[in-house]
Amino acid sequence: MLGFSLLDVGALAFFVVAWLSYHIAVEVTPVRHGGLNVRMNAQRRAWMEQMLTRENRIIDANIMASLQNGTAFFASTSLIAIGGVLTLLRATDDVVSAMTALPFGLATTRLAWEVKVVGLAVIFVYAFYKFSWSYRIFNYAAILVGAVPPVQDGDRGEAEAAARRAAAMNIVAARHFNRGQRAFFLALAYLGWFVSAYIFMAGTAACLFVMWRRQFASEAVAALGQDSPTHGPGSSSDV
């Protein structure tokens, strides 16, 4: 089928199932509550609560600008990656000839190579949409931060509600950013398919392990401490 062996099809199925399974594990199942991003979501809400106590909110504006700049960088990188993938697609014949001549003797067809390249392009396009949407939502979050009224006698409830809206929007933006970053990580595993289906599966498994460790057993998780609140309203987690 399209020049692919059953091993290739099985490796691709493993990749897709692994991606979906990890997504479900860290965003749907109760396991997510022990993850880094749920803990950071709690800190985002704490940040908005602390913002209410500050009359000068320049520091909050600077933090929002930093988050937006980081997201814009990854969105731009996604476009560069898409351009590189399209270049590979245009030079299929040259690349296939070069790969076949390598010492490990990679055997592939033109159609199989093009399908693999298109798959890689799809991953980067997905990442671009996630990063660009995250950037837009961070813009909305910045507006909501600016819309939080100063705390005055008699209207603290209104200010707290506005701060909760800003925190919720910030969390949504972070969720889409993390999904885009996850796509970048898995794209590295996908590159193994251009060499061998075995390397593809091994790379996918290694990528999942690295993401799991960073999410649940990294020094960053330890830095937040076990007493960090993780079950507040709107808790969610992604990597």
In 28-109, which ranges are continuous DSSP H helix? 36-51, 58-90, 92-100
| Token representation of residue 60 | 């909050």
Grade residue 103 by pLDDT with cuts at 50, 70 and 90: low
pLDDT at 153 exceeding the cut of 60: no
For range 114-125, the mean pLDDT: 93
For range 103-130, the mean pLDDT: 83
Classify residue 237: in a domain, yes or no.
Answer: no
- In this prediction the pTM is 0.86
C-beta separation of 68 from 135 below 8 A: yes
For range 21-33, the mean pLDDT: 87
- Identify the three-state secondary structure at position 225: coil
Grade residue 235 by pLDDT with cuts at 50, 70 and 90: very low
Classify residue 128: in a domain, yes or no.
Answer: yes
Classify residue 1: in a domain, yes or no.
Answer: no
pLDDT for the residue 157? 84
Classify residue 15: in a domain, yes or no.
Answer: yes
pLDDT for 175-224, tens place per residue?
999 999 999 999 999 999 888 899 999 999 999 999 999 999 888 888 88
C-alpha dihedral (66, 71, 72, 78), degrees to nearest 10:
150
Classify residue 150: in a domain, yes or no.
Answer: yes
pLDDT for the residue 111? 80
Classify residue 239: in a domain, yes or no.
Answer: no
pLDDT at 112 exceeding the cut of 50: yes
Classify residue 67: in a domain, yes or no.
Answer: yes
When mean pLDDT is compared over 21-35, 133-147, 222-236, the highest value belongs to 133-147
Percentage of the chain surpassing pLDDT 70? 85
Domain that holds residue 166: 6-224
In the chain, the number of structural domains is 1
pLDDT at 162 exceeding the cut of 70: yes
Grade residue 74 by pLDDT with cuts at 50, 70 and 90: very high
Classify residue 231: in a domain, yes or no.
Answer: no
